[in-house]
A = this chain, B = another copy of it.
Amino acid sequence: GSTTIPKPEIFKRKPLSYNYNYDLATSQGSTVMKMLFKWRGSLWQAVYKELIIWLIGYTIVSVCYRCFMSEDQQDYFERFGKYCDERMDYLPLNFVLGFFCNIIIRRWLKLFTCLGSIDNIALFVSGNVRGDEERARQIRRNIVRYCVLSQTLVFRDIHVAVRRRFPTLESVAAAGIMLPHELEEFNSIKSRYSKYWMSFNWTMELLNIAKKEKFIDGDNARNAIAQEISKFRASLTIVSMYDWVPIPLMYPQLVNMAVHTYFFLCVFTRQFFITEGAKNKTDIDLIVPFMTIIEFIFYVGWLKVAMELLNPCGEDADDFDCNLLIDRNLAIGLASVDGAFGNVPEIKPDVFNG
């Protein structure tokens, strides 16, 4: 038998990103302050590189303007700055970021409720596929495992971290989600399309076998399991659809173009204009354009929020941890249909019993 295969270490995952829910239990000032200064997955981490690059650019232009330009050049530069500055609102960043972020988050909120939890399948398999025999046990385990296998195959196609973990079908088999003879069976069907539907077919066959061998008692019970599998599969389809039909490239391009152009122009227009007699002479020369830095952090941060949620199946700190989900589904599913199978505490009166 295959029992000589060493137990694979499948329960590895990236350290969980900071879940601030617990910290935000109360919305009091101190809690909020603490949250503001987290680093991992934070605003600061997201924008600091861009900010440094921008500051370097700003400094170079600033030094040129203050030290190397002739008076005529300075005048030209100042008039150029004035011209642009008055027209910066041609790019309404607040509008486009607000609406873009809005639609991205809505899509993201919908997506993550479709990732698929095995719990209901395991519950119904455990409740409806009976029998303590080894074979019944294996059927139960396999139904759950095949569902997780399909989920893994779908996630491999759309999720970068899952792909990295399972670059080939062999690696899926090596992790134990698939057995070698199942991989062979899987490869025996040729198709130019993704074949994640195959293991669902296997589960249906297992249900038929289980019914024939009297582990499942009647059509009703079999159907109840099949319904749960159908729901699970439908949510996987939605997940693939979301990947297949992304928000058109133009939209994120548009938003990125707007933000980047805006701050590129700021390198020129947000200089402190210091020449006596300049029409747009700045009231004060602070050297560091801290108001624009705040603006930069704000808008680029807002853009980053949208960009991270645009593709939640990547490897950013806040992306869905689908590897964890696969592990969890497998572990819980197997425990539910095997370890905990048939397990029920003795029926005793509870304490509220009048």
Contact = CB atoms under 8 A, between A and B. Distances in A.
A201 B220 CA distance: 18
B98 A2 contact: no
Given A42-B253, A256-B32, A349-B3, A126 B201 contact: yes
Interface in A298-354: 298, 301-302, 304-305, 307-311, 313-316, 318, 320, 328, 330-332, 334-336, 338-354
Nearest to A351: B176
Interface string A83-122: 1100100111011111101110111011011010101101
A249 B95 contact: no
Contact of A298 (B257, B305, B330): B257
A209 interface: yes
A227 to B, nearest CB: 8
A99 B1 CA distance: 59
A61 interface: no
A214 interface: no
Nearest to A125: B204
Interface in A205-231: 205-209, 217-224, 226-230
Copy number of this protein in the oligomer? 5
A254 to B, nearest CB: 5
B124 A226 contact: yes
A96 B297 CA distance: 13
Nearest to A75: B284
A310 B24 contact: yes
A292 B238 contact: no
A43 B318 contact: no
A277 interface: no
Nearest to A292: B90
B27 A307 contact: yes
Nearest to A40: B249
A194 B123 CA distance: 15
Contacts of A208: 127, 130
Given A83-B291, A106-B109, A141-B349, 16 more contacts: A7-B352, A20-B249, A24-B307, A25-B313, A26-B315, A36-B260, A109-B110, A113-B241, A130-B208, A145-B350, A189-B335, A201-B343, A205-B344, A206-B344, A220-B220, A224-B226
